Chain A
Amino acid sequence: MPSKPKTVDTTKATKAALYAARKVLTRDAQEELQLRIPFDVYFQDPALRTLRRNFDFDETFDVPWEPGIGDGPTSARFAVVDYDSSAETLAPPATWDAENNVFTDTNGVPLNKANIASPQYRQVNVWATLQNALDFYENGFGLGRRIPFGFEGNRLIVVPNAGYGENAYYDRDSKSLQFYYFDSGEKRIYTSLSADIINHEFGHAVLDGLRPLLAESVSAETAAVHEFFGDLSAILIAFRNNKLRKWLAAETGGDLSVDSALSNLAEEFGGAVQNQPYLRSALNKLRYSSIKDDQRQHYMSQVLTGAMFDIVQRLSRHYMKRGRTLGEAFWHTIRRMQCMAIQPLDLLPPVDVTFEDYALAVLRNEEIVNPTDPDGYRQMMIDVFLEREVLSPETGRKLREPHDVFTRLRTQVYHHAADIASSRAAAYRFLDDNRSALFIPYSADIAVQDLSTAVKLTADARRQPRQVLLQYTWREDVVLEGGRFGQFAGETTSMLCGGTLALDIDGNLLSWMRKPGTQPLMGKGADESAEEQGGALRKEAFLNALAARIKAGRIGEIAGGELGILEKTVAPLTANKVGGILRFSLSPHVGIHSDEHDEMGESQWQISS
């Protein structure tokens, strides 16, 4: 067992002062000053404990301390509520012992690997895993900012023993992550003990916070982006773990192209439910052309997960070739991957994100962070995306053409980036003053979807200039004409349009990803014409995607009430009316199941009577 640093006791006031200054303290210093809370979490899940002796708990794991931690556990962004919907019982919460910097069970016994039988152990295991994941997204190697949630409020409710069932969910409507348990033979499987499952579900919550309008997309590909992000999060957060990387180095000899605890997702769950050693694997050779007409979002998502895992492998080989030890090579790989995969989220358009959008955001972010690219990372990533057909050859060629890395945004009315960042109202005036230059139709009622600033780091921990991130959207009415829209024929729905602008604080244009509409633009030049053409193509794709969803019987109703939602009747996409306009939304429960039971067509959504 690795030795832990000696800790230093401080007064409450001193600890708060140190907390305020934590960004300038090293990790070791934070541990000594008890600004981190040690907790023995399960590696991956309990199955690994059986598979690999001595590979069970991570005793080196700790999570950031914060002043508001309390019983539950409860912290700034999470509230653990141990309600079991099967037994209809509420288990007592873990108690926070501030003096000893530890959670204890109802008998005052500290919760650690010696006390896993306590019901409170799972409460703290899931909370600690989530605190760690939150830090992964928010720290400078990630988004470099605090992230919002996609619901009203800021605390995500976490239910570690939600009831009996082979699933786990993110549910925006109840602001919660729900982790169910089930029996496999004589063994009880708790999904709240699987780091992969927790991180996958939290990935949904994070993406829903960053891009809440993705839930309104009718495109199966956008639903697949959600699943991809869940899986990618699970893989990268696992790889971020020091002990796991060491073990992986020993296990694989550096060859990540073999089945490993990294590429395999949710081992215990997969073993119990699907009789295979994982739920999904990032090791696949799927290409975009083989999934583009599919409807199964988990299956589709593997193309992008596979592509990002290809990048992980190539990076690690690159570092090994440069003479790094395996451990070092893996460390450099994950630190760069965190920047490469997480930072681009801030560049994604606010609606209808496609695989190509994500690839372009990844490549653009890499260019911003590493404009000279002496190691050819960007070229390597273009190769991967081309091989997976996520980018077209034409796009690949254009990306490889020499071009200016940083340009200015051409506007009619100048607004300083700091002014734009000052408020949503100010951001709106910037957009409205520049409708023509920003390709926003005069008739569009623009909504500022999100506005934030971020300070991101490069992979070698250099501070990037402060970023201003602005998402804006508008809606266009679309009438559904023709039999292919089935029961929705004749109804009006809306197509979401908009863009994400990323500027640095000096006004350089970092990125501008748009989803154009079809309303006439104010200017009449070639750029406007291309934008309008893009809008027409989008509308066609929107209608085709919706018709395909209807044909596949993937739109249903939700049968719910005070006693809960009946999972069987929750279709992947649901329809409801807001002010007479049809609005679609991805299933409110974004679960971990594979698509196997999604292939029955519509009959599964109905209740037998």
Chain B
Amino acid sequence: MADKLLIRAYNVGCGDCIYVRIPKARKKDGEVDDFHMLIDCGSKAGEAVLKAALNLLKPELPLANGKRRLDLVVLSHEHEDHMKGFNPLFFEDVAIENIWLSAAMNRKHPQSKIARAFHNLAETAMRNVAKRRVALSPALQEMVSLYSISNESAVKTLTETLPEQNGIAPVYVHSDSKAAELNLKTLVGDVAFTILGPDYNIDYYYMGDEGAIDLRAFSEAAAGVLASGRAPADVQPGNISSLDFRRLQSRMMSNAFAYTAKDSTLINNTSIMLLIGWRGRRLLLVGDAEWEGTFVDGQHNGAWNVAWKRQRAKLDQPVDFLKIGHHGSTNATPWNDKEDRTVTEASTILDAILPLPAGNMPKSGPKAVVSTARTPYDVIPRSTLLVEIAKRVSNTKIYAPLLSPAQIQGLPNYVGFEEALLGEPQPQRTDMETLVTGKPYVDIEIEPAAGH
């Protein structure tokens, strides 16, 4: 077993908290040890679930000078469901040797000035909305919380507190980052880390030529919300009732949210797409990278489309493991979401990384895992996508017969979104696995390829 690479996805609700252990891949002062990584630690649920996950993780980490050691912490992108758990208190007893953040988070990155300014506008807008304490639908409330102050403290933890505590500097990575820049001095053996995304030129590929116009449009579109956290003075037109005016205001297109939604997509698209090559195996962890129709030069593009265009040689090969993006959302795994057999850029990417097997799927076939919890939206996770991925991976389960009637009854939105496809094979899901096995995590083990 010691020869296997371990990927452990903790069940933290709708969020990612993923531990990767690469056997015998660390060497320091002549001593060989396993290489321990944490990729993201966040959830839409409260911090408690993340603290619990970290408490389960810590005994897995080696002790050194009274602290548990993590060789590498990766934050794929700055959304709460990936970073809420980065509370300095949770890491007081952990020594961290390297921290990787997306180049999009680097305030000084020369090619993400527009994206950064756009993000700042979204942050201002959402924080001002939060101050107003108005009634919002769950979906809009969720968007506001994406930009909450607690996110800022998680960013500060990763960019300042933990680096200072550990005497290191965070590395902002992109697809042009060279091995030397990545600075993994202790990594040894047949292991290679490749960054497929984000691209160095963030503004150009993810915002498009018209990024600057977007920025101006955002300022125009959300001028009121950007200017003040207070609700506008109580004005009232003289020719309609106050009730009609209130309803009118509530029904008018909400530009602050429209542009913030764009920023949120941008943040997903600048996720670190990490390809780990290990002893003949290819493991792909993609954060919440999204896909869109087809790559168009000079326009805003999805992360998968940019990677397909710019890193084709590295991406266009089957993988042995896929961390399914964005909790199984329909827009984070490239596929033909119309399911009409048309060949699209997205379906081509899926066929390249997880080809349909010619016959029965061998036990040694590729694996996938999705960190998820049923949200009120049918697209997260999208059951039909999971069923499609299950045709292409070996670690699938049919969950319906494994669940008790009481468990099924307790599943949120079961009838609407799960019932139809829970009787079909699906890749391993953190939410279902906990119900079925009682364990708060899913383990995926990868053996070296034959001859490696």
Contact = CB atoms under 8 A, between A and B. Distances in A.
- Decide whether A and B assemble into one complex: yes
B251 interface: yes
Contacts of B255: 85-86, 163-165
B322 interface: no
Interface string B284-298: 000010101100000
**A157, A163, A565, A603 — most chain B CB neighbours (10 Å):** A603
A165 B253 contact: yes
A81 B238 CA distance: 9
A164 B250 contact: no
B140 A561 contact: yes
Contacts of B288: 608
A341 B148 CA distance: 55
Interface in B248-280: 248-258, 261, 264-265, 267-268
A589 B224 CA distance: 23
Contacts of A162: 252-253
Given A81-B240, A608-B261, A163 B420 contact: no
B292 A600 contact: yes
A561 B416 contact: no
A84 to B, nearest CB: 8
**A72, A487, A606 — most chain B CB neighbours (10 Å):** A606
Interface stretch (A169-177, A261-269, A345-353, A354-362): A169-177
B244 A559 contact: no
Contacts of B331: 603, 606, 608
Contacts of B378: 487
Interface in B328-364: 329-331, 337-340
Interface string A69-108: 0111010000111011111111001000000000000000
Contacts of A609: 44, 79, 81, 142-143, 146, 264
A578 interface: no
Contacts, number: 207
A183 interface: yes
Interface in B97-149: 129, 132, 134-137, 139-143, 146
B240 A489 contact: no
A180 B255 CA distance: 11
Interface residues of B, number: 70
B416 A85 contact: no
A607 B139 contact: yes
Given A88-B225, A560-B137, A566-B139, A606 B250 contact: no
A607 B143 contact: yes
Interface in A16-61: none
Contacts of A607: 139, 142-143, 261, 264, 377
Given A164-B221, A566-B258, A566-B261, A157 B338 contact: no
B228 to A, nearest CB: 8
A601 interface: yes
A294 to B, nearest CB: 13
A563 B239 contact: no
Interface in A538-566: 551-553, 557-566
Contacts of A175: 244, 247-248
Given A553-B338, A563-B134, A608-B264, A86 B380 contact: no
B2 interface: no
B63 interface: no
B251 A87 contact: no
B10 interface: no
A175 B251 CA distance: 10
Interface string A334-349: 0000000000000000
B237 interface: yes
Given A81-B239, A164-B217, A607-B143, A174 B251 contact: yes
B240 A157 contact: yes
Nearest to B81: A609
Interface string A152-166: 010101010011110
**A86, A87, A165, A490 — most chain B CB neighbours (10 Å):** A86
A606 B136 contact: no
A567 interface: yes
Nearest to A488: B416
Contacts of B135: 561-562
Given A81-B237, A87-B224, A159-B248, A603 B253 contact: no
Interface in A158-216: 159, 162-165, 167, 169, 171, 173-176, 178, 180, 182-183
Contact of B250 (A71, A167, A561, A605): A561
B220 to A, nearest CB: 4
Given A88-B232, A602-B330, A603-B379, A559 B139 contact: yes
B406 interface: no
B134 A566 contact: no
A149 B273 CA distance: 53
B417 interface: yes
Given A175-B244, A607-B139, A563 B129 contact: yes
Contact of A86 (B221, B292, B339, B417): B221
B170 to A, nearest CB: 24
A87 to B, nearest CB: 5
Nearest to B266: A608
Nearest to B417: A487
A93 B239 contact: yes
Interface residues on A, range: 35 or more
B235 interface: yes
Contacts of A155: 240
B329 A174 contact: no
Contact of B247 (A167, A173, A183, A608): A173
Contacts of A167: 253
Contacts of B265: 608
A90 B234 CA distance: 10
B312 interface: no
**A88, A153, A169, A600 — most chain B CB neighbours (10 Å):** A88
A93 B244 CA distance: 17
Nearest to B263: A608
A162 B143 CA distance: 23
A560 B140 contact: yes
B216 interface: yes
Contacts of B74: none
Interface in A575-609: 588-589, 599-603, 605-609
Contact of B251 (A80, A176, A553): A176
A71 B238 contact: yes
B415 interface: yes
A282 B380 CA distance: 41
A595 to B, nearest CB: 14
Contacts of A589: 253
B150 to A, nearest CB: 15
Contacts of A563: 129, 132, 134, 136, 140, 250, 254, 256-257
Contact of A72 (B139, B225, B239, B256): B239
B235 A180 contact: no
Given A81-B239, A93-B237, A601 B250 contact: no
Given A88-B225, A487-B420, A607-B139, A557 B377 contact: yes
Contacts of A605: 379
Contact of B249 (A483, A490, A564, A566): A564
A559 B140 contact: yes
Closest 6 pairs (CB-CB, A-B):
A564-B254, A88-B224, A164-B221, A559-B139, A174-B251, A561-B136
30 contacts: A81-B248, A83-B245, A86-B221, A86-B255, A88-B223, A88-B225, A155-B240, A159-B248, A165-B258, A171-B251, A174-B247, A174-B252, A178-B252, A183-B216, A487-B378, A487-B416, A551-B338, A559-B140, A560-B250, A561-B134, A563-B250, A564-B257, A567-B258, A603-B330, A603-B379, A606-B330, A606-B331, A606-B377, A606-B379, A608-B267
Interface of B: 44, 79, 81, 129, 132, 134-137, 139-143, 146, 213, 216-217, 220-225, 232, 235-240, 244-245, 247-258, 261, 264-265, 267-268, 288, 290, 292-293, 326, 329-331, 337-340, 377-380, 415-417, 420
